[in-house]
Amino acid sequence: MADSTVVLITGVSKGIGRTLVETYLLRPNHIVIGSVRDKTAPYAQELETLPAAEGSRLLLIKIESTSFTDPAEAIKDLEAAGIEHIDVAIANAGGARETAFIPMDVVGVDDVTDVFNVNTLGPLVLYQAVRPLLQKSKAPKWVSVTSAAGSIGNLEAFQAHVVPAYGIAKAGLNWMTVAAHSANKWLIAIALHPGLVQTDPGNKAAKAMGLEQAPVTKQQSIDAIIALVDNATREKTSGKFYNVVDGTEIPW
């Protein structure tokens, strides 16, 4: 345990989260913690059978993105299971479903609130829960999987006004990421745009843009995410917002 790298990833049932789990498990001496909505579901049982390198293993925890109490309960379970620190926490769970595309002039307050709860407040309570275990790591990192749609500086260039609920929520997550960087001088905190990835939501967004499918494969995105996280430093990387596909910095 003392020599293992401990990585926590939320939302691992499919898409980017699952591919992150698959990739980290193939690294030796890694304890990969993945959050799912239901630990008894078939997809959870399938995750349990994923191949793992020597000294690596998967632990599943229950976190429902709309619950503000699940993260703290999950951390209690992890501590009871012998987890004494977390090296990397990746806040990946999120999404917007159909509510993302409701225009700003008609979108309902309840729709915006629902998306904000999942994409901003969910990561906030996760951060609060994992912070004590991150503080016990020798090189702690917090990673927000966000979206270019949350960039205020590039909102017009990205035409992000078409996804108001999602953009507002991801802008909130971006703010939280910089705040975590600012408040904790011992922590590396970064926000990552994973690209337009070939997941169900990514392909749907791509088709809305006139593309046949999203241009970035899940593995391409995950390899870029992990490379950036591996090389992240407090001095050069923390407190910044990156497009992982091309490595460029995105304005807040």
Which of 127, 141, 170, 218 is flagged as catalytic? 170
Does the annotation count 236 as an active-site position?
no
Which of 166, 207, 240, 242 is flagged as catalytic? 166
**Cα separation, 197 vs 213, whole angstroms:** 9
Q: Show Cβ contacts of residue 143 under 8 Å, excluding neighbours closer than 6 positions.
A: 88, 89, 90, 91, 189, 190, 191, 192, 225, 229
CB atoms near residue 201 (< 10 Å): 18
Give which of 146, 134, 139 is closest to 241, Cα–Cα. 146
Paired strand residues for 30? 5
**Cα separation, 31 vs 2, whole angstroms:** 11
35: tokens are 């959050």
Does the annotation count 62 as an active-site position?
no
**Cα separation, 73 vs 31, whole angstroms:** 19
Catalytic residues, by residue number, are: 166, 170
